[in-house]
Chains A and B, each alone.
Chain A
Protein backbone atom coordinates (compact mmCIF):
# COMPACT_ATOMS: atom_id res chain seq x y z
CA UNK A 1 0.00 0.00 0.00
CA UNK A 2 1.32 3.46 -0.87
CA UNK A 3 2.21 5.76 2.02
CA UNK A 4 1.33 9.42 2.43
CA UNK A 5 2.89 11.56 5.13
CA UNK A 6 0.94 14.53 6.52
CA UNK A 7 2.98 17.12 8.41
CA UNK A 8 0.93 19.81 10.18
CA UNK A 9 0.96 21.30 13.67
CA UNK A 10 -2.82 21.58 13.78
CA UNK A 11 -4.29 18.38 15.26
CA UNK A 12 -7.59 18.87 13.43
CA UNK A 13 -5.81 19.03 10.10
CA UNK A 14 -3.79 15.93 10.94
CA UNK A 15 -6.98 14.05 11.87
CA UNK A 16 -8.90 15.06 8.77
CA UNK A 17 -6.12 14.65 6.25
CA UNK A 18 -5.12 11.22 7.60
CA UNK A 19 -8.74 10.17 7.20
CA UNK A 20 -8.77 11.51 3.66
CA UNK A 21 -5.60 9.54 2.97
CA UNK A 22 -7.12 6.37 4.39
CA UNK A 23 -10.41 6.58 2.52
CA UNK A 24 -8.44 7.10 -0.67
CA UNK A 25 -6.82 3.73 -0.07
CA UNK A 26 -3.36 4.71 1.19
CA UNK A 27 -1.54 4.40 4.50
CA UNK A 28 -1.36 7.58 6.54
CA UNK A 29 1.81 8.71 8.34
CA UNK A 30 1.49 11.65 10.68
CA UNK A 31 3.96 14.23 12.00
CA UNK A 32 3.36 17.48 13.86
CA UNK A 33 6.38 19.49 12.79
CA UNK A 34 9.31 19.50 10.40
CA UNK A 35 11.65 17.81 12.84
CA UNK A 36 9.31 14.90 13.38
CA UNK A 37 8.48 14.89 9.69
CA UNK A 38 12.08 14.46 8.58
CA UNK A 39 12.44 11.71 11.13
CA UNK A 40 9.50 9.83 9.61
CA UNK A 41 10.76 10.36 6.06
CA UNK A 42 14.09 8.75 6.93
CA UNK A 43 12.48 5.92 8.88
CA UNK A 44 9.53 4.99 6.68
CA UNK A 45 9.92 6.55 3.26
CA UNK A 46 6.56 7.90 2.08
CA UNK A 47 5.42 8.02 -1.57
CA UNK A 48 3.92 11.47 -1.12
CA UNK A 49 4.29 14.23 1.44
CA UNK A 50 1.60 16.76 2.33
CA UNK A 51 3.38 19.57 4.09
CA UNK A 52 2.09 22.58 6.06
CA UNK A 53 4.20 25.70 5.81
CA UNK A 54 3.86 27.48 9.13
CA UNK A 55 4.82 25.27 12.03
CA UNK A 56 6.94 25.66 15.14
CA UNK A 57 10.08 23.56 15.60
CA UNK A 58 11.24 23.48 12.01
CA UNK A 59 8.79 24.98 9.63
CA UNK A 60 7.58 23.56 6.35
CA UNK A 61 9.85 26.04 4.62
CA UNK A 62 12.93 24.42 6.03
CA UNK A 63 11.73 20.87 5.76
CA UNK A 64 10.82 21.40 2.11
CA UNK A 65 14.26 22.74 1.32
CA UNK A 66 15.92 19.91 3.19
CA UNK A 67 13.91 17.33 1.25
CA UNK A 68 14.57 18.83 -2.15
CA UNK A 69 18.31 19.22 -1.67
CA UNK A 70 18.79 15.65 -0.46
CA UNK A 71 19.40 13.17 -3.27
CA UNK A 72 17.66 10.45 -1.28
CA UNK A 73 14.41 12.31 -0.93
CA UNK A 74 14.19 14.93 -3.66
CA UNK A 75 12.14 12.69 -5.92
CA UNK A 76 9.29 12.37 -3.42
CA UNK A 77 6.42 14.59 -4.65
CA UNK A 78 5.32 17.25 -2.16
CA UNK A 79 2.00 19.06 -1.83
CA UNK A 80 2.32 22.27 0.19
CA UNK A 81 -0.60 23.33 2.39
CA UNK A 82 -0.40 26.90 3.23
CA UNK A 83 -1.74 29.95 4.96
CA UNK A 84 0.75 32.12 3.09
CA UNK A 85 0.61 33.04 -0.59
CA UNK A 86 2.62 30.95 -3.05
CA UNK A 87 4.80 33.95 -3.92
CA UNK A 88 6.00 34.31 -0.33
CA UNK A 89 6.75 30.60 -0.07
CA UNK A 90 8.78 30.63 -3.29
CA UNK A 91 10.65 33.70 -2.06
CA UNK A 92 11.56 31.89 1.13
CA UNK A 93 12.91 28.98 -0.87
CA UNK A 94 15.06 31.35 -2.90
CA UNK A 95 16.57 32.69 0.32
CA UNK A 96 17.35 29.18 1.51
CA UNK A 97 18.77 28.41 -1.92
CA UNK A 98 21.21 31.30 -1.54
CA UNK A 99 22.24 30.21 1.94
CA UNK A 100 22.88 26.62 1.05
CA UNK A 101 24.07 27.07 -2.51
CA UNK A 102 21.62 24.44 -3.67
CA UNK A 103 18.40 25.17 -5.42
CA UNK A 104 15.08 23.52 -4.75
CA UNK A 105 12.49 23.02 -7.48
CA UNK A 106 8.89 24.12 -7.04
CA UNK A 107 6.57 21.74 -5.21
CA UNK A 108 4.26 19.49 -7.18
CA UNK A 109 1.30 21.47 -5.95
CA UNK A 110 0.62 24.41 -3.70
CA UNK A 111 -2.75 24.53 -1.98
CA UNK A 112 -3.90 27.53 -0.02
CA UNK A 113 -5.99 26.95 3.06
CA UNK A 114 -8.71 26.03 3.42
CA UNK A 115 -8.17 23.25 0.94
CA UNK A 116 -11.06 21.56 -0.75
CA UNK A 117 -10.98 17.96 0.44
CA UNK A 118 -12.02 16.79 -3.05
CA UNK A 119 -9.10 18.64 -4.58
CA UNK A 120 -6.63 17.12 -2.15
CA UNK A 121 -7.96 13.63 -2.77
CA UNK A 122 -7.92 14.25 -6.52
CA UNK A 123 -4.28 15.36 -6.38
CA UNK A 124 -3.27 12.33 -4.35
CA UNK A 125 -4.90 10.01 -6.90
CA UNK A 126 -3.22 11.91 -9.72
CA UNK A 127 0.22 11.49 -8.16
CA UNK A 128 -0.08 7.99 -6.75
CA UNK A 129 -2.57 6.37 -9.08
Chain B
Protein backbone atom coordinates (compact mmCIF):
# COMPACT_ATOMS: atom_id res chain seq x y z
CA UNK B 1 0.00 0.00 0.00
CA UNK B 2 3.05 2.19 0.16
CA UNK B 3 3.05 2.06 -3.63
CA UNK B 4 3.40 5.58 -4.79
CA UNK B 5 2.23 7.37 -1.68
CA UNK B 6 3.45 10.91 -2.26
CA UNK B 7 4.62 13.07 0.61
CA UNK B 8 5.30 16.76 0.23
CA UNK B 9 7.89 18.08 2.71
CA UNK B 10 7.68 21.80 3.39
CA UNK B 11 10.40 23.45 5.47
CA UNK B 12 12.79 26.33 4.94
CA UNK B 13 15.50 24.31 6.69
CA UNK B 14 17.29 22.54 3.83
CA UNK B 15 19.02 20.01 6.07
CA UNK B 16 15.76 19.01 7.72
CA UNK B 17 14.17 18.53 4.32
CA UNK B 18 17.08 16.43 3.09
CA UNK B 19 16.96 14.24 6.18
CA UNK B 20 13.23 13.61 6.00
CA UNK B 21 13.47 12.96 2.27
CA UNK B 22 16.05 10.24 2.85
CA UNK B 23 14.07 8.58 5.66
CA UNK B 24 10.74 8.65 3.79
CA UNK B 25 12.28 7.32 0.59
CA UNK B 26 13.94 4.53 2.57
CA UNK B 27 10.46 3.52 3.71
CA UNK B 28 9.25 3.42 0.14
CA UNK B 29 7.38 6.68 -0.10
CA UNK B 30 7.78 9.13 -3.00
CA UNK B 31 8.66 12.63 -1.94
CA UNK B 32 8.88 16.19 -3.15
CA UNK B 33 9.87 19.34 -1.37
CA UNK B 34 9.14 23.07 -0.98
CA UNK B 35 11.07 25.66 0.99
CA UNK B 36 8.48 28.36 1.58
CA UNK B 37 4.73 28.75 1.74
CA UNK B 38 4.27 30.12 -1.77
CA UNK B 39 6.29 27.31 -3.29
CA UNK B 40 4.36 24.83 -1.18
CA UNK B 41 0.98 25.92 -2.56
CA UNK B 42 2.31 25.70 -6.08
CA UNK B 43 3.79 22.26 -5.48
CA UNK B 44 0.54 20.93 -4.05
CA UNK B 45 -1.19 21.85 -7.28
CA UNK B 46 1.38 20.13 -9.45
CA UNK B 47 2.51 17.20 -7.31
CA UNK B 48 -0.85 16.32 -5.77
CA UNK B 49 0.60 14.78 -2.60
CA UNK B 50 -1.20 12.28 -0.39
CA UNK B 51 0.19 13.91 2.74
CA UNK B 52 2.02 17.11 3.66
CA UNK B 53 4.68 17.60 6.30
CA UNK B 54 4.45 21.30 7.02
CA UNK B 55 6.83 23.46 8.98
CA UNK B 56 5.22 26.52 10.54
CA UNK B 57 7.99 29.11 10.74
CA UNK B 58 8.80 30.04 7.17
CA UNK B 59 9.47 33.43 5.57
CA UNK B 60 6.86 35.25 3.42
CA UNK B 61 3.99 32.73 3.68
CA UNK B 62 4.04 30.66 6.88
CA UNK B 63 2.66 27.21 7.63
CA UNK B 64 -0.55 28.59 9.13
CA UNK B 65 -1.38 30.41 5.89
CA UNK B 66 -0.58 27.37 3.80
CA UNK B 67 -2.74 25.12 5.94
CA UNK B 68 -5.66 27.55 5.99
CA UNK B 69 -5.45 27.95 2.25
CA UNK B 70 -5.34 24.23 1.48
CA UNK B 71 -8.23 23.39 3.80
CA UNK B 72 -10.35 26.00 2.04
CA UNK B 73 -10.40 24.28 -1.33
CA UNK B 74 -12.40 21.17 -2.21
CA UNK B 75 -9.52 19.78 -4.26
CA UNK B 76 -7.01 19.95 -1.42
CA UNK B 77 -8.95 19.83 1.84
CA UNK B 78 -8.66 16.07 2.10
CA UNK B 79 -4.88 16.03 2.10
CA UNK B 80 -3.75 15.36 5.69
CA UNK B 81 -1.34 17.95 7.07
CA UNK B 82 1.13 17.16 9.82
CA UNK B 83 2.47 20.41 11.19
CA UNK B 84 6.01 20.63 12.54
CA UNK B 85 7.08 23.21 15.03
CA UNK B 86 9.53 24.04 17.71
CA UNK B 87 6.70 25.75 19.58
CA UNK B 88 5.47 23.13 21.98
CA UNK B 89 3.01 24.92 24.21
CA UNK B 90 -0.68 23.97 24.17
CA UNK B 91 -1.87 27.29 22.72
CA UNK B 92 0.56 26.81 19.82
CA UNK B 93 -0.77 23.35 19.16
CA UNK B 94 -4.32 24.61 19.33
CA UNK B 95 -3.48 27.39 16.91
CA UNK B 96 -2.08 24.87 14.47
CA UNK B 97 -5.19 22.73 14.67
CA UNK B 98 -7.32 25.86 14.30
CA UNK B 99 -5.62 26.62 11.05
CA UNK B 100 -6.56 23.22 9.80
CA UNK B 101 -3.68 20.94 10.65
CA UNK B 102 -4.67 17.33 11.17
CA UNK B 103 -1.75 16.60 13.43
CA UNK B 104 1.01 18.49 15.20
CA UNK B 105 4.54 17.33 16.04
CA UNK B 106 7.02 19.34 18.00
CA UNK B 107 10.69 19.59 17.06
CA UNK B 108 12.91 17.95 17.85
CA UNK B 109 11.01 14.77 17.14
CA UNK B 110 11.76 11.11 16.89
CA UNK B 111 11.47 9.99 13.29
CA UNK B 112 9.80 6.75 14.39
CA UNK B 113 6.92 8.65 15.93
CA UNK B 114 6.53 10.73 12.78
CA UNK B 115 6.61 7.59 10.67
CA UNK B 116 3.76 6.05 12.66
CA UNK B 117 1.67 9.19 12.38
CA UNK B 118 2.31 9.32 8.65
CA UNK B 119 1.14 5.70 8.27
CA UNK B 120 -2.02 6.51 10.21
CA UNK B 121 -2.93 9.64 8.23
CA UNK B 122 -2.19 8.03 4.90
CA UNK B 123 -4.59 5.22 5.80
CA UNK B 124 -7.22 7.78 6.78
CA UNK B 125 -6.81 9.66 3.54
CA UNK B 126 -6.97 6.52 1.44
CA UNK B 127 -10.13 5.48 3.27
CA UNK B 128 -11.72 8.87 2.68
CA UNK B 129 -10.74 8.81 -0.97
CA UNK B 130 -12.20 5.37 -1.48
CA UNK B 131 -15.47 6.45 0.05
CA UNK B 132 -15.56 9.59 -2.08
CA UNK B 133 -14.80 7.62 -5.22
CA UNK B 134 -17.55 5.19 -4.42
CA UNK B 135 -20.02 8.05 -3.95
CA UNK B 136 -18.94 9.67 -7.19
CA UNK B 137 -19.23 6.34 -8.96
CA UNK B 138 -22.74 5.81 -7.61
CA UNK B 139 -23.72 9.30 -8.65
CA UNK B 140 -22.41 8.68 -12.14
CA UNK B 141 -24.29 5.38 -12.32
CA UNK B 142 -27.45 7.06 -11.17
CA UNK B 143 -27.19 9.78 -13.79
CA UNK B 144 -26.30 7.21 -16.43
CA UNK B 145 -29.24 4.99 -15.58
CA UNK B 146 -31.57 7.97 -15.62
CA UNK B 147 -30.17 8.94 -18.97
CA UNK B 148 -30.60 5.40 -20.25
CA UNK B 149 -34.10 5.35 -18.91
CA UNK B 150 -34.81 8.60 -20.70
CA UNK B 151 -33.23 7.26 -23.87
CA UNK B 152 -35.08 3.98 -23.46
CA UNK B 153 -38.27 5.88 -23.02
CA UNK B 154 -37.39 8.01 -25.99
CA UNK B 155 -36.62 5.03 -28.18
CA UNK B 156 -39.81 3.34 -27.05
CA UNK B 157 -41.83 6.47 -27.77
CA UNK B 158 -40.17 6.86 -31.13
CA UNK B 159 -40.88 3.22 -31.97
CA UNK B 160 -44.49 3.65 -30.91
CA UNK B 161 -44.86 6.74 -33.05
CA UNK B 162 -43.27 5.13 -36.08
CA UNK B 163 -45.42 2.00 -35.59
CA UNK B 164 -48.49 4.14 -35.97
CA UNK B 165 -47.18 5.63 -39.19
CA UNK B 166 -46.21 2.17 -40.45
CA UNK B 167 -49.71 0.93 -39.91
CA UNK B 168 -51.00 3.82 -41.98
CA UNK B 169 -48.63 2.93 -44.81
CA UNK B 170 -49.32 -0.80 -44.72
CA UNK B 171 -53.05 -0.25 -44.58
CA UNK B 172 -52.99 2.34 -47.34
CA UNK B 173 -50.92 0.06 -49.57
CA UNK B 174 -53.16 -2.93 -48.97
CA UNK B 175 -56.26 -0.95 -49.82
CA UNK B 176 -54.62 0.61 -52.87
CA UNK B 177 -53.79 -2.85 -54.22
CA UNK B 178 -57.39 -3.97 -53.84
CA UNK B 179 -58.67 -0.80 -55.47
CA UNK B 180 -56.37 -1.38 -58.44
CA UNK B 181 -57.52 -4.99 -58.80
CA UNK B 182 -61.15 -3.92 -58.66
CA UNK B 183 -60.59 -0.91 -60.89
CA UNK B 184 -62.15 1.29 -58.22
CA UNK B 185 -60.82 4.82 -58.76
CA UNK B 186 -62.56 6.37 -55.74
CA UNK B 187 -61.16 3.81 -53.34
CA UNK B 188 -57.77 4.20 -54.98
CA UNK B 189 -57.86 7.93 -54.37
CA UNK B 190 -58.75 7.58 -50.72
CA UNK B 191 -56.03 4.95 -50.21
CA UNK B 192 -53.58 7.29 -51.86
CA UNK B 193 -54.59 10.03 -49.44
CA UNK B 194 -53.79 7.77 -46.54
CA UNK B 195 -50.36 6.99 -48.03
CA UNK B 196 -49.60 10.66 -48.67
CA UNK B 197 -50.69 11.66 -45.23
CA UNK B 198 -48.40 9.17 -43.56
CA UNK B 199 -45.44 10.02 -45.81
CA UNK B 200 -45.94 13.58 -44.64
CA UNK B 201 -45.83 12.48 -41.02
CA UNK B 202 -42.50 10.72 -41.59
CA UNK B 203 -41.05 13.83 -43.21
CA UNK B 204 -42.21 15.98 -40.32
CA UNK B 205 -40.73 13.53 -37.86
CA UNK B 206 -37.36 13.48 -39.61
CA UNK B 207 -37.32 17.26 -39.85
CA UNK B 208 -38.02 17.53 -36.17
CA UNK B 209 -35.35 15.02 -35.25
CA UNK B 210 -32.80 16.87 -37.36
CA UNK B 211 -33.90 20.19 -35.94
CA UNK B 212 -33.49 18.88 -32.45
CA UNK B 213 -30.02 17.51 -33.07
CA UNK B 214 -28.74 20.69 -34.68
CA UNK B 215 -27.31 23.57 -32.75
CA UNK B 216 -29.43 26.01 -34.61
CA UNK B 217 -29.79 29.70 -34.18
CA UNK B 218 -33.46 30.64 -34.44
CA UNK B 219 -34.42 32.48 -37.63
CA UNK B 220 -35.75 35.67 -36.16
CA UNK B 221 -38.50 37.59 -37.89
CA UNK B 222 -40.71 40.37 -36.73
CA UNK B 223 -44.15 38.84 -36.19
CA UNK B 224 -47.35 39.08 -34.30
CA UNK B 225 -47.66 36.60 -31.44
CA UNK B 226 -51.44 36.59 -31.85
CA UNK B 227 -51.17 35.37 -35.41
CA UNK B 228 -48.99 32.43 -34.44
CA UNK B 229 -51.24 31.50 -31.53
CA UNK B 230 -54.32 31.86 -33.68
CA UNK B 231 -52.90 29.65 -36.42
CA UNK B 232 -52.19 26.89 -33.94
CA UNK B 233 -55.61 27.18 -32.30
CA UNK B 234 -57.33 26.85 -35.67
CA UNK B 235 -55.17 23.87 -36.55
CA UNK B 236 -56.03 22.07 -33.32
CA UNK B 237 -59.72 22.97 -33.17
CA UNK B 238 -60.93 19.80 -34.89
CA UNK B 239 -58.73 17.51 -32.83
CA UNK B 240 -60.02 19.13 -29.67
CA UNK B 241 -63.64 18.85 -30.76
CA UNK B 242 -63.24 15.10 -31.18
CA UNK B 243 -62.88 14.93 -27.42
CA UNK B 244 -65.47 17.62 -26.63
CA UNK B 245 -62.74 20.02 -25.63
CA UNK B 246 -63.18 23.73 -26.24
CA UNK B 247 -60.22 25.90 -27.17
CA UNK B 248 -60.62 29.41 -25.82
CA UNK B 249 -58.55 32.27 -27.24
CA UNK B 250 -57.50 34.96 -24.83
CA UNK B 251 -55.25 37.19 -26.89
CA UNK B 252 -53.78 40.56 -26.05
CA UNK B 253 -55.37 43.57 -27.68
CA UNK B 254 -51.94 44.95 -28.43
CA UNK B 255 -50.87 44.76 -32.06
CA UNK B 256 -47.18 44.96 -31.19
CA UNK B 257 -44.79 42.70 -32.98
CA UNK B 258 -41.79 40.89 -31.61
CA UNK B 259 -38.68 39.24 -33.01
CA UNK B 260 -38.89 35.48 -32.80
CA UNK B 261 -38.73 32.37 -34.99
CA UNK B 262 -42.38 31.93 -35.96
CA UNK B 263 -42.07 28.36 -37.25
CA UNK B 264 -40.28 27.22 -34.12
CA UNK B 265 -42.70 28.96 -31.77
CA UNK B 266 -45.57 27.53 -33.83
CA UNK B 267 -44.21 24.05 -33.12
CA UNK B 268 -43.91 24.83 -29.41
CA UNK B 269 -47.51 25.95 -29.15
CA UNK B 270 -48.58 22.93 -31.19
CA UNK B 271 -46.82 20.71 -28.69
CA UNK B 272 -48.32 22.44 -25.64
CA UNK B 273 -51.86 22.40 -26.99
CA UNK B 274 -51.51 18.78 -28.09
CA UNK B 275 -50.43 17.87 -24.56
CA UNK B 276 -53.32 19.86 -23.12
CA UNK B 277 -55.75 17.93 -25.32
CA UNK B 278 -54.29 14.66 -24.05
CA UNK B 279 -54.57 15.87 -20.47
CA UNK B 280 -58.27 16.56 -20.94
CA UNK B 281 -59.00 13.48 -23.04
CA UNK B 282 -57.50 11.12 -20.49
CA UNK B 283 -59.15 12.82 -17.53
CA UNK B 284 -61.91 10.55 -16.28
CA UNK B 285 -63.14 12.81 -13.49
CA UNK B 286 -66.51 14.53 -13.57
CA UNK B 287 -66.18 17.93 -15.13
CA UNK B 288 -68.79 20.17 -16.66
CA UNK B 289 -66.67 20.84 -19.65
CA UNK B 290 -63.07 20.65 -20.71
CA UNK B 291 -61.38 23.81 -21.77
CA UNK B 292 -58.00 24.82 -23.06
CA UNK B 293 -57.24 28.51 -22.80
CA UNK B 294 -54.54 29.92 -25.04
CA UNK B 295 -53.41 33.42 -24.13
CA UNK B 296 -50.91 35.98 -25.31
CA UNK B 297 -49.71 38.99 -23.42
CA UNK B 298 -47.00 41.62 -23.44
CA UNK B 299 -44.97 42.46 -20.35
CA UNK B 300 -43.95 46.00 -19.54
CA UNK B 301 -40.40 45.29 -20.67
CA UNK B 302 -41.61 44.21 -24.11
CA UNK B 303 -41.31 40.47 -23.52
CA UNK B 304 -44.14 38.32 -24.84
CA UNK B 305 -45.95 35.64 -22.84
CA UNK B 306 -47.66 32.62 -24.40
CA UNK B 307 -49.77 30.60 -22.03
CA UNK B 308 -51.60 27.30 -22.49
CA UNK B 309 -53.92 26.34 -19.69
CA UNK B 310 -56.10 23.24 -19.36
CA UNK B 311 -58.49 21.89 -16.74
CA UNK B 312 -57.60 18.27 -17.36
CA UNK B 313 -55.61 15.61 -15.55
CA UNK B 314 -52.94 17.81 -14.03
CA UNK B 315 -49.76 16.28 -12.69
CA UNK B 316 -48.01 15.65 -9.43
CA UNK B 317 -44.44 16.56 -8.52
CA UNK B 318 -42.93 13.33 -9.79
CA UNK B 319 -44.40 13.64 -13.26
CA UNK B 320 -43.50 17.32 -13.43
CA UNK B 321 -39.89 16.53 -12.71
CA UNK B 322 -39.71 14.00 -15.55
CA UNK B 323 -41.47 16.23 -18.07
CA UNK B 324 -38.46 17.30 -19.99
CA UNK B 325 -36.79 13.92 -20.27
CA UNK B 326 -39.01 12.15 -22.71
CA UNK B 327 -38.86 13.20 -26.33
CA UNK B 328 -42.21 12.26 -27.64
CA UNK B 329 -45.70 13.19 -26.63
CA UNK B 330 -48.45 10.62 -26.64
CA UNK B 331 -49.71 8.81 -29.63
CA UNK B 332 -52.21 11.13 -31.19
CA UNK B 333 -52.40 14.75 -32.05
CA UNK B 334 -51.62 16.81 -35.11
CA UNK B 335 -48.15 17.62 -33.85
CA UNK B 336 -45.08 15.86 -35.17
CA UNK B 337 -44.63 14.04 -31.88
CA UNK B 338 -41.45 15.72 -30.75
CA UNK B 339 -42.32 16.72 -27.24
CA UNK B 340 -41.54 19.12 -24.54
CA UNK B 341 -37.81 18.64 -24.87
CA UNK B 342 -37.81 20.29 -28.27
CA UNK B 343 -40.09 23.01 -26.98
CA UNK B 344 -37.71 23.71 -24.14
CA UNK B 345 -34.80 23.81 -26.56
CA UNK B 346 -36.52 26.35 -28.79
CA UNK B 347 -37.47 28.51 -25.82
CA UNK B 348 -33.89 28.39 -24.55
CA UNK B 349 -32.59 29.39 -28.00
CA UNK B 350 -34.81 32.45 -27.80
CA UNK B 351 -33.34 33.31 -24.44
CA UNK B 352 -36.71 32.69 -22.88
CA UNK B 353 -38.16 30.60 -20.08
CA UNK B 354 -40.86 27.97 -19.74
CA UNK B 355 -42.76 27.56 -16.47
CA UNK B 356 -45.21 24.94 -15.36
CA UNK B 357 -47.92 25.07 -12.75
CA UNK B 358 -50.01 22.03 -12.16
CA UNK B 359 -52.55 20.59 -9.76
CA UNK B 360 -53.44 16.90 -9.96
CA UNK B 361 -57.08 16.61 -10.92
CA UNK B 362 -57.42 20.32 -11.58
CA UNK B 363 -55.24 21.06 -14.61
CA UNK B 364 -51.98 22.56 -15.79
CA UNK B 365 -50.68 25.85 -17.08
CA UNK B 366 -47.60 26.14 -19.25
CA UNK B 367 -46.12 29.62 -19.63
CA UNK B 368 -43.52 30.56 -22.23
CA UNK B 369 -41.84 33.94 -21.87
CA UNK B 370 -39.82 35.28 -24.82
CA UNK B 371 -37.75 38.37 -24.10
CA UNK B 372 -37.73 41.38 -26.37
CA UNK B 373 -34.96 41.50 -28.88
CA UNK B 374 -33.53 44.52 -30.66
CA UNK B 375 -32.36 43.38 -34.07
CA UNK B 376 -31.12 46.10 -36.28
CA UNK B 377 -30.58 45.90 -40.03
Contact = CB atoms under 8 A, between A and B. Distances in A.
Contacts, number: 62
Contact of A16 (B167, B242, B331): B167
B171 interface: yes
B252 interface: no
Contacts of B1: none
Given A12-B194, A114-B163, A56 B281 contact: yes
A56 B282 CA distance: 5
Contact of B168 (A9, A16, A56): A16
A107 interface: no
B356 interface: no
Interface residues of B, number: 27
Contact of B167 (A56, A113, A118): A113
Interface residues of A, number: 22
B45 interface: no
Contacts of A9: 332
A57 B187 CA distance: 32
Contacts of B197: 12
A37 B171 CA distance: 22
B174 interface: yes
B66 to A, nearest CB: 64
A31 to B, nearest CB: 12
A10 B194 CA distance: 13
Contact of B164 (A10, A19, A32): A10
A16 B282 CA distance: 24
B223 interface: no
Contacts of B94: none
The 5 closest A-B pairs by CB, nearest first: A16-B171, A114-B167, A117-B174, A56-B281, A114-B166
Interface of B: 160, 163-164, 166-168, 170-175, 178, 187, 190-191, 194, 197-198, 242-243, 278, 281-282, 284, 331-332
9 contacts: A12-B168, A13-B167, A16-B194, A19-B191, A32-B242, A56-B278, A56-B281, A83-B331, A117-B170
